Amino acid sequence: MMNLDGKTKESLNARRDLEEMGIRRVLHPMESNRKIVLSSTCYSMSNDEKKKLCWWLVNLKVLDSHSSNISRCVNAGENQISGMKTHDCHVFVERLLPLIVSEMLPRHVSEAVIKICEFFKNICANDLKDEDLECLETKLG
């Protein structure tokens, strides 16, 4: 979503693979003025959205016992998040990411991401039963 150099899987080779398979034509590489251009994906954030997200995280206040200071992991100048501890990642994926994507991404994308976040929240719960797993399977299905 943040489209960080070296971290994204949206490379030219991946796009050429899509072209070779004949799927997702809107994501195929295009040539413009002798340069290859990759169209943005529906889940990619613009620079303004990345900046907004980083500033939101920098100014986020959470209870001391809930999470450490996530703002220390944000480099607002470069629009990057790094160095989160495991618990911070859990809080981010299970609690914060659903809020973020519901505001910044198209509805069809945010609904899918929110379902995945809920899945991780439930699968990481202290008390997990077989019935819960079956219910999760039908929700994601």
Residue 98: predicted pLDDT: 95
User: Angle at Cα 86 formed by Cα 131 and Cα 105, nearest 5°?
Assistant: 75
Give the global pTM. Answer: 0.76
What are the residue ranges of helices labelled H in the chain?
12-21, 47-58, 86-91, 97-104, 107-123, 130-140
Among 13, 44, 38, 34, residue whose Cα is nearest residue 26? 38
Identify the band that residue 88 occupies on the pLDDT scale cut at 50, 70 and 90: confident
pLDDT digits (tens, 9 = 90+) for 64-85: 767 767 888 898 888 888 888 8
Average pLDDT over residues 91-119: 92
Q: Is the pLDDT of residue 23 over 70?
A: yes
